[in-house]
Amino acid sequence: MAKKYTFDFKKQVIEHYFKSNDGYGLTAWHFQVPVGTVESWVKLYKRKGIDGLKPITKPRCFSPEFKYKVVRYFIDNHLSQNQAALAFDIHFGCVGHWFKIYQKYGKAGFSMTLNPPQGKADKKMAQKVKKNSEKTKEELLEMVSDLEVEVAYLKKLDALLRQKRLEKKKSIK
């Protein structure tokens, strides 16, 4: 899969941003890219320099503990995927992908093998559920706590989305 933006293009956008008085919005408009993309590139440039804009050439592997830590940070601090990714120096897509795994399987989902053949994932989860019955009280309480935090996060997200929809409806009238 080809990259959407080349290193030279990103460099050109960054140079324009710093040399002009244009903010994120005008720079994004000038180069026909999303504002959030320009903002991410600028923050990445400020944090890592010009090398931060270069594509990652070798795949990186992350431990299940690291993935869980990133997702907890993302949830607990009510951050965007970009903000969480910048904090841990990872691609924002990882945050979203890991969050979906966490939503579907919980912390145990990070220990599963990548891309299991169809059907095996459900069998593995059934085995994990059986193992849950053998867990200690402390482990089960930790799982309950994690799930309570997740539910609270999702409720807050739902409330914010409803509020935005109401504000949009009011502004249209």
Write out pLDDT tens, residues 46-59. Answer: 888 888 788 776 66
The Cβ of residue 86 has, within 10 Å, a number of other Cβ atoms equal to 20
Write out pLDDT tens, residues 107-162. Answer: 888 887 555 445 555 566 666 666 666 677 888 888 889 999 999 999 999 899 99
Structure tokens at 90: 């990872």
Write out pLDDT tens, residues 123-132. Answer: 666 666 666 6
What's the distance, CA 173 to chain centroid? 35
pTM for the structure as a whole: 0.49
Residue 53 to residue 9: CA distance in whole angstroms: 10
Boundaries of every domain in the chain:
7-53, 64-172
Q: What is the pLDDT of residue 108?
A: 86
Residue 9 buriedness (CB in 10 A; 0-12 / 13-18 / 19+)? middle
